[in-house]
A and B are shown apart, each in its own frame.
Chain A
Amino acid sequence: NAGVTQTPKFRILKIGQSMTLQCTQDMNHNYMYWYRQDPGMGLKLIYYSVGAGITDKGEVPNGYNVSRSTTEDFPLRLELAAPSQTSVYFCASSAHRERGEKLFFGSGTQLSVL
């Protein structure tokens, strides 16, 4: 099983450029999430989705957009990149089970906006 796959692993953007961070999971999880993590800090939730066609804002959604057209994919779109969006981005997924709900993370995308 591949689990949660994120692409690209690294990216450098110029101010004002746009890009899409890809996230795919093969575990048929209904919940998917996007986080950002600034150096030395914890994870901050950007957007999340409870199923295909349903998305909602997290703690820090400004400057980002998401879509969830399939169960497997949850891309994160950056419009008009700004230096403040320099961070490591993590995608994660989960599915509620009777004995609990494990969260599975991708390996991250390191983004620099210069």
Chain B
Amino acid sequence: DAKTTQPPSMDCAEGRAANLPCNHSTISGNEYVYWYRQIHSQGPQYIIHGLKNNETNEMASLIITEDRKSSTLILPHATLRDTAVYYCIVFYTNAGKSTFGDGTTLTVKP
């Protein structure tokens, strides 16, 4: 599975868009990009995933570059409840063997 690189922390103003970047330059052709978040000490929660097309669901949007070497998770209108650690992982199957790393701590400020 490809390794990912994320900034350790980011801040965002409440109501503004939060854009979280992830680099995955060694991604293989069949590997998906997944985003999870962990609020306090709860179990990580699935947010969104994609292969090569941009994706949107009720929680967020995922923008994947054309060369698939990086992606951005967008929370369109961040709220205080979006304060969490966000993990970007890349894999094809056997999801749990992926390395979660330390993720990005997003702090949404009033």
- Interface residues of chain A, those whose CB is within 8 Å of chain B, are 4, 31-33, 35, 37, 41-43, 45, 48, 50, 58, 88, 90, 92, 94, 96, 100-108, 110
A74, chain B: closest CB distance, angstroms? 11
A56, chain B: closest CB distance, angstroms? 9
Main secondary structure of the interface of A (DSSP, over half): strand
Q: Which B residue sits closest to A47, measured CB to CB?
A: B96
A102 close to B43 (CB less than 8 A): no
Contacts A102-B46, A102-B49, A108-B42: A42 and B97 contacting too (C-beta < 8 A)?
no
Top 7 A-B residue pairs of the complex, sorted by shortest distance between their CB atoms? A105-B43, A33-B96, A94-B95, A43-B100, A96-B93, A103-B95, A42-B102
> Bound complex: CA of A94 vs CA of B56, how far in Å?
22
> Bound complex: CA of A105 vs CA of B100, how far in Å?
13
A37, chain B: closest CB distance, angstroms? 8
A-contact bits for B88-99, CB 8 A (1 contact / 0 none): 000101111100
List 5 additional A-B contacts (Cβ < 8 Å) besides A107-B42, A108-B41. A31-B96, A48-B94, A94-B95, A100-B34, A103-B34
Question: What total count of A-B pairs have CB within 8 Å?
Answer: 65
B46 close to A50 (CB less than 8 A): no
> Bound complex: CA of A68 vs CA of B10, how far in Å?
40
Q: Which residues of A contact B32 (CB under 8 A)?
A: 100-101
A7, chain B: closest CB distance, angstroms? 14
A45 close to B97 (CB less than 8 A): yes
Q: Which B residue sits closest to A48, measured CB to CB?
A: B96
Contacts A48-B96, A101-B95: A43 and B41 contacting too (C-beta < 8 A)?
no
A-contact bits for B35-74, CB 8 A (1 contact / 0 none): 0100001111110010100000000000000000000000
A103 close to B96 (CB less than 8 A): yes
